[in-house]
Chain A
Amino acid sequence: MSALLLAFALAATSYDAVFQDSLAAYDEGDYEHAVVLLEQLVDEGIVEDDVFYNLGNAYFRLGRFGESIANYERTLQLNPNHRDARRNLEKALAECPRGLARPLPPEWEQAVLFWHQGFDRRTSGFLAAALWVTGWTLLGVRRFMRVRYLAAAGAVAVAFGALFGASWYAKSHPQPTAVVVSEKAPVRYGTSPTDKVRFELFEGDRVLVEAADGDWLRVATIGRERGWAKAEHLVAVGPPYAGYFERGAGEEAGP
């Protein structure tokens, strides 16, 4: 047991050291190295809003605004109240030619969960569990004690618990979105390079990924324009977060 704890502590120290190295690289202006270190953390399964935020900043400094936007989006997925990420996301979008708005969530989510923008996934999950357990407990207690409004309070708590549960589920299973990392990404009618170009996406445009066919992705904009784009022009926001930068990062893919 103690050996396990020691291994865990050593691993944590190692992750912290890598993070500190990334900060040092960033401070020295070696943004490429900072990106490599932070991506290493992400590949190790570290899912921290500030890690993605720093990664977004490093990409921003490199002028790779598509990747920068993707990482700010991840940060805001994990912590919607991350003000710095929100502000830097705006700046990154302002550096892009168009900056299409983020695709809207599904209609059921817009209708039922219009209120949950300010909650992160953990908070929603915690509130869901607490309200759910409390509600059923109150309802259970009500079976033994006649206390005024206890049943109503229990029912309300259960209902809110279910609502926060839905919020937790929606935040745990976000729509698959992606950000354009090429200067221009032609979106075609089909999955052949000879298919007619239907419209073009620009760096920083955020799109919904509806389907995949080989190295082609069927994407939809917030304006419901649909078409097939090569995956090399896009980077997925996730989750999952690890491994998505392997194919597009590090190269400015042309259309």
Chain B
Amino acid sequence: MQVRAVAATVLIAAAGLAAAQEPYVEASVDSTEVPVESRFWIHIEAHGQEVEWPALPEIDGLWVNPRPNTSEHMVISNRSRRHIAKLSYSAIALEPGPITIPPIRVMVNGKPMYTEPIEIRAVGQPATSPRSIANVRAWVDDGHIVKGQPFWLNIEASGGDVRMPESISVDGLSIDNVNVRRGRSVSLGRGVYSETLKNAYHCTPHRAGEIEVPAFPVQVDGKTVETEPFTITVYEQRPRQTVDLDADANELTRDDLVFINMEVDKTEVYQGEPLLLQAQLWRIAHRYVQSGPIRGSLIVPPSTEGFYVTYLEPLSYVDEHKGWKYDVSEERKVLYPTAIGDLRIGQWHWEGIALVHSGYASRPRRLTYSLNAGPIKIKVKPLPPRPAGFNGAVGQFEMNASFNTQSLKQGVPARLVVTVTGTGNPDAIGGPAIPDLPWAQVSEPERKTDLEVSAQRPYPTVTKRFTYQIVPLRSGMVTLPEIKFIHFDPETGQYETQTAGPFSGMVEAMPGVPEEVVIAAENQPRLRNVEIQSDDIMPVARKISNLSPARSVPWLPAAVAVSPVLAFAFAAVVAARRARFARDGAYARSVRAHRTALAALDRCRDAGNPAEALFQAVVQYVADAYRREAAGLTSSDVRELLEANAVDPQIVDNGARILRSCERVNYAGQDLTADEWRALESGAREFIDRLEEARRP
């Protein structure tokens, strides 16, 4: 079994290495007949290990988005591996008639390959106005522009490929075209890529009066689209005004010091349609006047019975009324009528005082206020008959859906994120129903709601994110059908359907997961008794004998790991020594002589004449070391030989003394005591060792 596993591994590895599959490129379009000024896709698919994507050539009658969508993935099976790269360009036919997409050069595995040319036909007529396919606008932030005071001029455009103007100019305005605030957002809805660019230009008017802001050209999807021209009024700097209530009573009355205002943006709405309630407290901004509520003041906010309410952040700002500046505090609520018929926003009651200082010495005049605003009647119309799938969302919405992963794996949860963005009651936006999937288990969605409040828009933008966990239960090609989100658009008075998908993809098989694990949904309890049928589990194992508890030897792996390395190190040392013996003759001779001398010393004690034997061993060693004939050498000869070879005088003296002792014993014929013999032998050994040590480099 193991041999087969090894072989299979080698085969798989070989197959992987030989993954230079046939290179291949192909171009395709969604349809060979496309409507003029409608977006369609040109797809280029290439198979190979390295793919260098082309820049599409200019194609007559066709605008092509230079920023394509790309996807790359690897398909691995038991026998092969394919690297697949896909490129999708969005394109728009500009004029009716035949269009030829020429062969496109793609570098695959370092070699150029060409797609087949494609003939398509654009049908229909172009729209008369270029504004029909794009959304561009220009506006200024400030409603009251004063000469010499800067303000922001904004240009915003949406489309597949948006190019803002390099610079703009307006007669009467100094515009900073360098430090431009730029913003970009991208969305992918219903398979269409869209981006929104916003440029904000810092402008300073240098003259008062009416200033004409011309149309600005913006390139959207290859066409020039212009913003609407408009006029701004620039005021001269306002002269400083003084307040004297007695003197200017005709101009500024008591009621002008503090007043309240409550208004809604519409009084006739559909059920669930948002409307904005603004409750403003205006207090004159002047150094002689102080105003506000005091302790005990009764303030009753407007009742909103029958409405679902979203509270927005209160605003504080300075505004103008009858040429006077006011501090305005504004409470804002978005109301969603929950019932039909005539509803009523109740009266807002505010109480407070104003203190008017007329001189340094006098006491301020105290004016008390008890103000009312409203009530406001709202007529709520019923929604038209509800279509199937409508779950209560009223407003204007966009829906996007995307998977969090490029690859699906069997048994591995993937997240499908459906995002609904727009204006409407966030709590009335239900998750789009995911169709029943025979190939996956789909969880209840996690919900997340974000509210974004912008001064540019009357209503907060709701972004509600539904995250479904989808667990593929089988491998292979699967499709998630189109997802629908139905909402009622009060502006058109109709139900509208947003769609996303369908999504198709390949589910990779995972080891240890059955080919298909499709089982009943979680809320359907399974029958737990096991039916023994022909498709039964495999039988139990019976051929087991000599069972014994597992024994582990903790030191064994370390020993197995370390011992070969140590053995190798030892072998390397031995081999190095052998190599030196072979290479360095003097060294070899020296080592051999040393070894022979020590062996001879060991034998001395058992010799017939130990002193003679010791003398011969030492002399033989010196003779071998310095390549001399040993025969006939005396202690004096040895001394001369050593001195001639510049040996340390102390070693020379020791050697000569030992040899002389041996000669004396030998010639005098006297025996040595055991201690004397031991000293002589030990001295001879030390002499040989020290001489050997001194001779080695």
CB distance from B195 to the nearest CB of A (A): 31
- Who on chain A is nearest to B551 by CB? A45
Question: In whole angstroms, how far apart are the Cα atoms of A60 and B538 in the complex?
Answer: 11
Please tell me if the beta carbons of B529 and A100 are within 8 angstroms of each other in the complex.
no
A143 adjacent to chain B (CB < 8 Å): yes
A residues less than 8 Å from B575 (CB atoms): 143-144
- Who on chain B is nearest to A198 by CB? B446
Question: In whole angstroms, how far apart are the Cα atoms of A88 and B571 in the complex?
Answer: 52
B residues less than 8 Å from A57 (CB atoms): 537-540
Question: In whole angstroms, how far apart are the Cα atoms of A89 and B409 in the complex?
Answer: 18
Please tell me if the beta carbons of A50 and B565 are within 8 angstroms of each other in the complex.
no
Complex interface: stretch among A187-195, A218-226, A243-251: A218-226
A84 adjacent to chain B (CB < 8 Å): yes
Please tell me if the beta carbons of B549 and A16 are within 8 angstroms of each other in the complex.
no
Please tell me if the beta carbons of A63 and B9 are within 8 angstroms of each other in the complex.
no
CB distance from A159 to the nearest CB of B (A): 14
B530 adjacent to chain A (CB < 8 Å): yes
- Determine which of B1, B12, B547, B567 lies in contact with A12 in the assembled complex, contact meaning CB atoms within 8 Å: B547
CB 8 Å contact bits of A90-103 with B (1 = contact, 0 = none)? 11111111111110
- Who on chain B is nearest to A184 by CB? B522
- Who on chain B is nearest to A38 by CB? B540
Please tell me if the beta carbons of A223 and B545 are within 8 angstroms of each other in the complex.
no
State how many residues of chain B have any CB contact under 8 Å with chain A. 63
CB distance from B519 to the nearest CB of A (A): 6
Please tell me if the beta carbons of A46 and B517 are within 8 angstroms of each other in the complex.
no
CB 8 Å contact bits of B527-546 with A (1 = contact, 0 = none)? 01110000001111111111
Question: In whole angstroms, how far apart are the Cα atoms of A89 and B523 in the complex?
Answer: 23
B residues less than 8 Å from A144 (CB atoms): 571, 575, 578
CB 8 Å contact bits of B361-388 with A (1 = contact, 0 = none)? 0000000000000000000000000000
CB 8 Å contact bits of B512-524 with A (1 = contact, 0 = none)? 1111110111100
Question: In whole angstroms, how far apart are the Cα atoms of A184 and B411 in the complex?
Answer: 17
B residues less than 8 Å from A116 (CB atoms): 9
B461 adjacent to chain A (CB < 8 Å): no
- Who on chain B is nearest to A145 by CB? B575
Please tell me if the beta carbons of B568 and A81 are within 8 angstroms of each other in the complex.
no
Question: In whole angstroms, how far apart are the Cα atoms of A81 and B6 in the complex?
Answer: 12
CB distance from A208 to the nearest CB of B (A): 13
A70 adjacent to chain B (CB < 8 Å): no
Please tell me if the beta carbons of B571 and A102 are within 8 angstroms of each other in the complex.
no
A253 adjacent to chain B (CB < 8 Å): no
B residues less than 8 Å from A255 (CB atoms): none
A residues less than 8 Å from B511 (CB atoms): 102, 117
Question: In whole angstroms, how far apart are the Cα atoms of A90 and B538 in the complex?
Answer: 11
Complex interface: stretch among A130-138, A209-217, A227-235: A130-138
Question: In whole angstroms, how far apart are the Cα atoms of A76 and B441 in the complex?
Answer: 27
- Determine which of A11, A16, A165, A202 lies in contact with B544 in the assembled complex, contact meaning CB atoms within 8 Å: A16
A residues less than 8 Å from B520 (CB atoms): 97
CB neighbors of B among A136-158 (8 A): 136-137, 139-141, 143-144
Question: In whole angstroms, how far apart are the Cα atoms of A216 and B543 in the complex?
Answer: 40
Please tell me if the beta carbons of B519 and A100 are within 8 angstroms of each other in the complex.
no
CB distance from A147 to the nearest CB of B (A): 14
A residues less than 8 Å from B12 (CB atoms): 115
Please tell me if the beta carbons of B571 and A140 are within 8 angstroms of each other in the complex.
yes
- Determine which of A26, A76, A91, A120 lies in contact with B512 in the assembled complex, contact meaning CB atoms within 8 Å: A76
B631 adjacent to chain A (CB < 8 Å): no
Please tell me if the beta carbons of B530 and A63 are within 8 angstroms of each other in the complex.
yes
CB distance from B356 to the nearest CB of A (A): 56
Please tell me if the beta carbons of A223 and B547 are within 8 angstroms of each other in the complex.
no
Q: Is the interface of B mostly helix, strand, loop or mixed?
A: loop
Please tell me if the beta carbons of B530 and A60 are within 8 angstroms of each other in the complex.
yes
Please tell me if the beta carbons of A16 and B547 are within 8 angstroms of each other in the complex.
yes
CB 8 Å contact bits of B1-42 with A (1 = contact, 0 = none)? 110111011001100000000000000000000000000000
Question: In whole angstroms, how far apart are the Cα atoms of A110 and B6 in the complex?
Answer: 18
A residues less than 8 Å from B568 (CB atoms): 136-137, 139-140
CB neighbors of B among A176-213 (8 A): 184, 199, 202
Assuming A97-B526, A101-B513, is B564 touching A136 (CB within 8 A)? yes
B247 adjacent to chain A (CB < 8 Å): no
- Who on chain A is nearest to B525 by CB? A183
- Who on chain B is nearest to A61 by CB? B530
Question: In whole angstroms, how far apart are the Cα atoms of A23 and B550 in the complex?
Answer: 21
CB 8 Å contact bits of B405-427 with A (1 = contact, 0 = none)? 00001111110000000000000
- Who on chain B is nearest to A103 by CB? B412
- Who on chain A is nearest to B535 by CB? A91
CB neighbors of B among A97-137 (8 A): 97-102, 115-120, 123, 125, 129, 132-133, 135-137
- Determine which of B411, B519, B567 lies in contact with A95 in the assembled complex, contact meaning CB atoms within 8 Å: B519
Question: In whole angstroms, how far apart are the Cα atoms of A63 and B538 in the complex?
Answer: 15
Please tell me if the beta carbons of A50 and B560 are within 8 angstroms of each other in the complex.
no
CB distance from B12 to the nearest CB of A (A): 7
Please tell me if the beta carbons of A81 and B1 are within 8 angstroms of each other in the complex.
yes
A residues less than 8 Å from B441 (CB atoms): 97-98
B477 adjacent to chain A (CB < 8 Å): no
| Of B9, B473, B516, B578, most A-chain CB atoms within 10 Å | B9
- Determine which of B2, B528, B550 lies in contact with A46 in the assembled complex, contact meaning CB atoms within 8 Å: B550
Residues of B at under 8 Å CB distance from A? Answer: 1-2, 4-6, 8-9, 12-13, 409-414, 441, 443, 469, 471, 473, 510-517, 519-522, 526, 528-530, 537-550, 557, 560-561, 564-565, 567-568, 571-572, 574-576, 578
Given pairs A115-B12, A144-B578, 14 additional interface contacts (CB within 8 A): A12-B548, A46-B547, A46-B550, A47-B550, A53-B541, A81-B2, A91-B537, A92-B537, A97-B520, A101-B513, A116-B9, A117-B511, A119-B2, A222-B409
Q: Can you list 16 residue pairs at the A/B interface with Cβ under 8 Å?
A: A15-B548, A16-B544, A46-B550, A54-B541, A89-B512, A96-B519, A100-B411, A100-B471, A102-B512, A115-B13, A117-B511, A132-B564, A136-B567, A144-B571, A222-B412, A223-B412
Nearest first, the 10 closest Cβ-Cβ pairs linking A and B are: A101-B411, A118-B5, A45-B549, A90-B514, A143-B575, A136-B564, A50-B541, A84-B538, A15-B547, A223-B413
